[in-house]
A and B are shown apart, each in its own frame.
Chain A
Amino acid sequence: MGVDGNYKWVGKRTVRPDGTDKVTGRALFSADSSMPGMLIGKILRSPHAHAKIKSIDTSKAEKLAGVKSVVIGKDFPNLPNKTISIGILAANFSEMSDKLMARKKVLYDGHPVAAVAATTSAIADKALSLIKVEYQVLPHVIDVDEAMKPKAPLLHKKMITVGVDPAPTKASNVASRCEFGFGDLEAGFAAADVIIERTFKTKPAHQGYLEPHGAVVSVAEDGQVTIWCSSQGQFMVRSYCARLMQIDEAQIRVIPAEIGGGFGGKTVIYLEPVAMALSGRAGKPVKMTMTREEVMRATGPTSGTSIDVKLGATKDGKLTAGEAELRYQAGCYPGSPVGPGAMTAFAPYNLENVKTVGFDVVVNRPQAAAYRAPGAPMSEFAVESVIDEMAQKLGMDPIALRELNAAKEGTTAPYGPKFGPIGNEQCLEAAKNHPHYSAPLGPNQGRGVASGFWFNVGGESVASVNINTDGTAVVLSGNPDIGGSRASMAAMAAEVLGIDYDKVRPIVADTSSIGYNDLTGGSRTTFASGMAVCNAATDAVDQMRTRAAKVWDISPDAVEWSEGHARPAGPNAGDFEPMSLADIARTSAKMGGPITGRAAINAQGAAPGFGTHIVDVEVDPETGHVTVLRYTAVQDVGRAIHPSYVEGQIQGGVAQGVGWALNEEYVYGDDGCLQNTGFLDYRMPVASDLPMIDTVIIEVPNEAHPFGVRGVGEVPIIPPLGAVANAVSNAIGVRMTDLPLSPPKILAAIKNGS
């Protein structure tokens, strides 16, 4: 077995093990579970963008028949104001707690101020209406550039920018500054024949998962907590709840429900600790589910941004220097993905002189949450737009310019390390040679190209492979299956064990049934948890080899495992009839007991992914309406364990990126309140908005993974922003720098020529 091997199950389009439940309505998502005696919990939210809470009177609500508990901010533990690392995440629990339930101030429209649990939904609603909150409304700030101005309303009066030397003496909304890069920018720009400088803006985009957040929480009289919820990490939920509520992790069992989409938005929690507080007081289980309006008002979109890019090139197309300043909205507390944005901005390019500076800025909006390749789509949109413009100015083909300057093995990434084997050039070449790239365009049509880069992530994972006495296997892993990962785990285990895919049952285990796993995110699951599954399967194989060796009375080293059988490693090992996995499993009781392979790893060696997209659009010159005519996405995934789900990830990422580029945006009124709180006016792409999305999978294996996996989910959302903007710009002859490219904006650009 090697990264270039021929596989029986890896790379095959198997039917996913959880599929039937999901096409019959049987699968249980967060809102689908109920418990006897369960109460319904609901949250009262701030109607103001920024206000002091002068008082909260819950007495009338508490007296209402059917109301079993009411909580407000003071009912939650106060926690030290410092940032703690948990696995691949870092969190400030004081801030997190304040986001769950406001204490002294509300910081955005939708900020929770109180919660109730009642016997029915209608009584809970009534109870919320009986809670009287007295606010003193404060000036608010929504836009990132406005928030950075010296006289902007301050969200946090003591916030001093981190990362500036010497430290500022005055508080501001700028939480931190980060910087990456190397070389001599001045010399680089001096060597340029052409320099382009542009400012770009993007709006916050919501992850748009179809399943609203939901949880059922039961706090027993002895303090044991059981949580059924959908999240991107049952262990994340456990860690956060334990710290926020100040109880031991061992007292909390989180049982993962099926998750109806996350895309990063379910790497944080909103309801579980509130339901814990309500359930603990009421002595009954509490179910909480958000409405779509609550999801839109109060759960994390990714940051809106404002970005300056400066790029220099010689007249023959060699990039000489690249510089960017990135300003990202964090929401009400620090924590925008400006760091990864600054790291990834120029990553597809081999630059000798590069510098990116990022600012994390608080504004009166809900806290930004991760969204697919957090931070990268915006910064790479800005750079890819300038690359496109540079190609035009130089009279070069945009892919040729990218190829000439492509990052490759040995290139120092703008964020520091040298790239190992990467598929950037292969993606560009495949895009260039794709029939799409040379297809003719009609009137009012334009073609756009853009590249994308994401690190991919490793991290901590645990897996078990239990061999059953009938020759089947159960694979336990600890990451929610957000889009087919059970199928990938089963395929990898079947491949290592040498048994049929349908003899392997993959299970997503709860927090008390398996060891710690970092959450599903950053494109880590198939890589890191997949590696753990492979290692656990290999551990089981080793045990079975040892047992065969005992039977044959030879050294375990003289036993090899192939096609699901222990075999003598060669003629010198002896002449024995091979023993199948089923043979060995059947006798396990006599041979030392059950066979269970285990692996607990902190997976290292995650390898970067690159992609190049091509899109054709047509712009209606009289209305500014954009039609996406054709889309091709090329991506290096290392190894496609399940090609259909790899294609699906790419196609889904493209659709989200197209939505971000064209129509998705948050609209706030002058009062700082969100106006488009539903799917009607937060315009995600519908089926009739998109063409088929062609995918080209490139496989440059990652040597660190048993099957060569890099990861797939993040990269495909990055290039669409730049590709669509470049295509529209090319169609109308005006450079578009302000997303989304809604019809009014395009029509105005056509009219005004800028």
Chain B
Amino acid sequence: MSKHHVTSTVNGEPVEFLCEPQETLLDILRDQLDLTGSKEGCSSGDCGACSVTIDGRLVCACLVLGAEAEGRKIETIENMAEGDTLHPLQQKFLEEAALQCGFCTPGFLVAAKSLLDRNDNPTETEVRYWLAGNLCRCTGYDKIVKSVMDVAAEMRGE
């Protein structure tokens, strides 16, 4: 079996890895790069727990082959805080109890950040549809949606 040599940028750092053709980016992140913050909830793109961005585009890492990461820039939950300063979304999730078990939380945060990077004034409906690919079984989404709306308002200076 021929392994592919892949060079990419993960969380701002250059990385190189060898992957088998069928290995997903999620496999690589979790098993080779020790970035276990992206979670495997379904392996079929239905739960969003493995949300990452590739060249700024939000995707499920379970639906990307490791080999496709060649030359790309990948951002994961592990790079969301800057040094010891949490991203406003991370801070708001803590303050508003927008997590219970915490398993889906990294995916929600990555997805919500991707929304706010594009749109700092989303409606509740826009937030709900943007996050529809992130399943949460604990919270009923209420506090998650509120937190995202609140952070958006803070970013707008309201």
Which A residues have a C-beta under 8 Å from some C-beta of B?
A: 13, 15-16, 18-29, 31-32, 122, 207-212, 258-263, 289, 291-292, 482-484, 642, 644-645, 647-649, 651-656, 678-680, 684-688, 690, 692-693
Question: B106 on the interface (CB 8 Å rule)?
Answer: yes
A20 / chain B contacts, CB cutoff of 8 Å: 86, 90, 94
Asked whether A212 and B143 contact (CB < 8 A) given A32-B36, A261-B101, the answer is no
B100 / chain A contacts, CB cutoff of 8 Å: 261, 482-484, 645, 648-649, 652
Contact with A along B41-52 (1 / 0, CB 8 A): 111101101000
Q: Shortest Cβ distance from B40 into chain A, in angstroms? A: 6
Contact of A686 among B38, B99, B124, B135 (CB under 8 A): B135
Decide if A654 touches B140 in the complex (CB within 8 Å).
yes
Asked whether A211 and B101 contact (CB < 8 A) given A15-B95, A644-B96, A679-B46, the answer is yes
Interface stretch among B2-10, B63-71, B73-81? Answer: B73-81
Q: Shortest Cβ distance from A233 into chain B, in angstroms? A: 15
B101 / chain A contacts, CB cutoff of 8 Å: 209-211, 258-262, 482-483
Decide if B140 touches A24 in the complex (CB within 8 Å).
no
Decide if A692 touches B146 in the complex (CB within 8 Å).
yes
Decide if B97 touches A22 in the complex (CB within 8 Å).
no
Contact of A22 among B43, B105, B125, B140 (CB under 8 A): B105
A292 / chain B contacts, CB cutoff of 8 Å: 41-44, 46-47
Contact of B37 among A26, A258, A484, A690 (CB under 8 A): A26
Question: B53 on the interface (CB 8 Å rule)?
Answer: no
Decide if B39 touches A29 in the complex (CB within 8 Å).
yes
Chain B residue nearest to A682 (CB atoms) is B46
Question: B132 on the interface (CB 8 Å rule)?
Answer: yes
List the 8 closest A-B pairs by CB distance, nearest first: A25-B37, A260-B103, A22-B102, A651-B140, A483-B100, A644-B97, A655-B140, A679-B46
Count, A-B residue pairs, CB within 8 A = 184
Decide if B105 touches A23 in the complex (CB within 8 Å).
yes
Chain A residue nearest to B95 (CB atoms) is A15
A642 / chain B contacts, CB cutoff of 8 Å: 97
Question: B119 on the interface (CB 8 Å rule)?
Answer: no
A678 / chain B contacts, CB cutoff of 8 Å: 42, 44, 46
Question: B127 on the interface (CB 8 Å rule)?
Answer: yes
Question: B128 on the interface (CB 8 Å rule)?
Answer: yes
The docked-state distance in angstroms from the alpha carbon of A31 to that of B113 is: 25
Asked whether A210 and B86 contact (CB < 8 A) given A25-B78, A25-B106, A679-B47, the answer is no
Q: Shortest Cβ distance from B91 into chain A, in angstroms? A: 8
Which B residues have a C-beta under 8 Å from some C-beta of A?
A: 20, 30, 35-44, 46-47, 49, 76-78, 80-81, 86, 90, 93-97, 99-106, 109, 124-125, 127-129, 131-146
The docked-state distance in angstroms from the alpha carbon of A21 to that of B94 is: 10
The docked-state distance in angstroms from the alpha carbon of A484 to that of B124 is: 26
Chain A residue nearest to B127 (CB atoms) is A687
Chain B residue nearest to A480 (CB atoms) is B101
Decide if A648 touches B138 in the complex (CB within 8 Å).
yes
Asked whether A484 and B97 contact (CB < 8 A) given A291-B43, A655-B140, A680-B44, the answer is yes
Chain B residue nearest to A646 (CB atoms) is B97
Q: Shortest Cβ distance from B151 into chain A, in angstroms? A: 12
The docked-state distance in angstroms from the alpha carbon of A217 to that of B80 is: 32
Asked whether A25 and B36 contact (CB < 8 A) given A208-B137, A652-B140, A684-B137, the answer is yes
**Which of B37, B44, B138 neighbours the largest number of chain A CB atoms within 10 Å of its CB?**
B138
The docked-state distance in angstroms from the alpha carbon of A106 to that of B106 is: 39
The docked-state distance in angstroms from the alpha carbon of A678 to that of B44 is: 8
B125 / chain A contacts, CB cutoff of 8 Å: 688
Chain B residue nearest to A26 (CB atoms) is B37
A688 / chain B contacts, CB cutoff of 8 Å: 125, 128-129, 131-132
Decide if B97 touches A679 in the complex (CB within 8 Å).
no
Additional A-B contacts beyond A482-B100, A651-B143, A687-B129 (14; CB < 8 A): A22-B99, A28-B36, A29-B103, A31-B39, A210-B104, A212-B40, A260-B39, A292-B43, A292-B47, A644-B96, A651-B141, A687-B136, A687-B145, A690-B140
The docked-state distance in angstroms from the alpha carbon of A260 to that of B42 is: 13
The docked-state distance in angstroms from the alpha carbon of A656 to that of B100 is: 14
The docked-state distance in angstroms from the alpha carbon of A147 to that of B38 is: 43
Decide if B132 touches A644 in the complex (CB within 8 Å).
no
A482 / chain B contacts, CB cutoff of 8 Å: 100-101
Chain A residue nearest to B49 (CB atoms) is A210
Contact of A209 among B35, B131, B137 (CB under 8 A): B137
The docked-state distance in angstroms from the alpha carbon of A653 to that of B94 is: 20
Decide if B36 touches A644 in the complex (CB within 8 Å).
no
A122 / chain B contacts, CB cutoff of 8 Å: 20
B146 / chain A contacts, CB cutoff of 8 Å: 692
Decide if A211 touches B39 in the complex (CB within 8 Å).
yes
Decide if B134 touches A687 in the complex (CB within 8 Å).
yes
**Which of B78, B81, B143 neighbours the largest number of chain A CB atoms within 10 Å of its CB?**
B143
Decide if B132 touches A686 in the complex (CB within 8 Å).
yes
Chain B residue nearest to A680 (CB atoms) is B46
A-B contact pairs, 20 of them (CB 8 A): A209-B103, A210-B41, A210-B101, A212-B40, A259-B101, A262-B101, A292-B43, A292-B47, A644-B143, A647-B143, A656-B137, A679-B41, A679-B42, A679-B135, A684-B137, A686-B135, A687-B131, A687-B145, A690-B140, A692-B146
B38 / chain A contacts, CB cutoff of 8 Å: 25
